[in-house]
Amino acid sequence: MKDATVWIMIGFLGQALFSARFIIQWLASERARRSIVPKAFWYFSLAGSAVLLSYAIHRADPVFIVGQASGLFIYLRNLYLIKVEHRASLDNGE
């Protein structure tokens, strides 16, 4: 398989992961009958963004690189906040 084809497939994989997060959020909200953002949303955001960042670096697209790299920090921060909240609830016996 040609290198260009592999990278296009990587780009589509990243986009699929990134897009799947909205389906996950929508389904979780429908089940709860209210708007929620499940932890899986952040993991799919992180995975999709990491793959898309790799693709952007390969393409040497500075706009795409900055956008995906900055998103990584946001997704990691949200996962960290979820972890801290979970630990606090355990410490409080909840």
Q: What is the DSSP string of 17-71?
A: HHHHHHHHHHHHHHHHTS----HHHHHHHHHHHHHHHHHHHHHT-HHHHHHHHHH
Tell if the pTM clears 0.95, that is, is over it: no
| Domain range summary for the chain, segments of one domain joined by + | 3-91
Mean pLDDT, to the nearest integer, of 18-28?
93
- How does residue 93 score in pLDDT terms, banded at 50, 70 and 90? confident
Burial of 33 (0-12, 13-18, 19+ CB in 10 A): exposed
Residue 44 predicted with pLDDT over 80: yes
**Residue 66 to residue 50: CA distance in whole angstroms:** 12
| pLDDT tens per residue across span 63-80 | 999 999 999 999 999 999
